[in-house]
Structure 1
Amino acid sequence: MNQIIKKVIMLVLSVSGYYSHAQSHQNAHKTMSMEEEKVMQVITKMTTAFHKKDIDGIMATYEPSAVVVFEPERPISNKKELKETFIEAFAINPKFTYSGHEVFVTGDSAIHLAPWTMLAMAPDGTKIEQSGLSIAVLHKQEDGSWLMIFDNPHGQYLMEKK
């Protein structure tokens, strides 16, 4: 597979942890607090923007210095490169399913965890199927809103690395 397709796949994997249905806004064992719900709203907003191919909407869910790991061991924090990589991912129109969401908040920090699977189609017609564990760290802003500061859809990577 060529480098652009690989890069697009990795980008899509990063986005994949963020789509949620209203039913999955609860942790498996408890009802979410108001702050946990606010964190989930950011995740949902990002995914909705991605599905609409709204790059400005996507970028609005990240702090300016956010780090996104589109490929394991290759974090990106350059805003221009982040935008370009997200736009490249629009080409394969991925479909996501999730087995749940967990959100934990302490003070002005939060973490979102979501196992995911993704199905998409490469430009050459090759079926793309991936799965993983998305980990996002969010920071509470002065106005009470939340933004992502770290986004890694490859939380399982070290467990799979040989």
Structure 2
Amino acid sequence: MEDKQAVLSTILTMTANLEKGDLDGVMASYEPGASILFEPGQPVADATAARQIFGDLAATKPAVHYGEHEVYVTGDMAVHLAPWGMRGTAPGCEDVTMGGLTVAVLRRQPDGKWLMLFDNPHGAHGLETAKAE
């Protein structure tokens, strides 16, 4: 149970840091070389590019909410699943709304901390595509 709480804490801390615009805090939730899918099917593993995209998201002053969290841990690996939504306002005063199913894979570090190595906030994308066919 302790590991599940630590994994969930990593997810919620990253989210809180994004909402505050703390990009250092956001990036500290990821392993070096982590793969993040800001768009379905387009993984970003470059930390500089990821930081820029997170900065663009933070500029919308996002408010993120989650549905029920599922966390599964086996050894030093964990999977986090949860429906999520986000609302914000783009610099041009346009409303920004997005959401989906987040699927994140985390690994326990030698110091016991859990960090994300794969983050896909569009985990349901393939299901939506299959329904349309």
The TM-score, its normalising length taken from structure 2, stands at: 0.91
Aligned to 1:136: 104
Aligned to 1:53: 21
Q: Percent identity?
A: 43
Aligned counterparts of 1:46 and 1:158: Cα–Cα separation in 2: 25
Aligned to 1:93: 61
1:116 alignment partner AA: W
Aligned to 1:24: none
* Partner secondary structure for residue 148 of structure 1: strand
Unaligned runs of 5+ in 2: none
Aligned counterparts of 1:51 and 1:100: Cα–Cα separation in 2: 20
1:79 alignment partner AA: A
Q: CA RMSD in A?
A: 1.2
The TM-score, its normalising length taken from structure 1, stands at: 0.76
What displacement does 1:74 show?
0.6
What displacement does 1:128 show?
2.4
What displacement does 1:65 show?
1.2
* Partner secondary structure for residue 92 of structure 1: coil
- Identify the structure with the greater strand proportion: 2
Cα deviation code 1:122-149 (max 9, x no counterpart): 2333322222100110001111111100
Using CA pairs below 8 Å that are at least 6 residues apart, which structure has the higher relative contact order?
A: 1
Aligned to 1:120: 88
Aligned counterparts of 2:63 and 2:11: Cα–Cα separation in 1: 16
Aligned counterparts of 1:113 and 1:82: Cα–Cα separation in 2: 21
Q: Which of the numbers 110, 117, 123 marks the counterpart of 1:155?
A: 123
What displacement does 1:100 show?
1.1
Aligned counterparts of 1:130 and 1:86: Cα–Cα separation in 2: 14
1:92 alignment partner AA: T
2:46 alignment partner AA: N
* Partner secondary structure for residue 70 of structure 1: strand
Aligned to 2:47: 79
Unaligned runs of 5+ in 1: 1-32
What displacement does 1:66 show?
0.3
* Partner secondary structure for residue 56 of structure 2: helix
1:106 alignment partner AA: T
Aligned residues: 130
Q: Is the deviation greater in 97-106 or in 148-157? A: 97-106
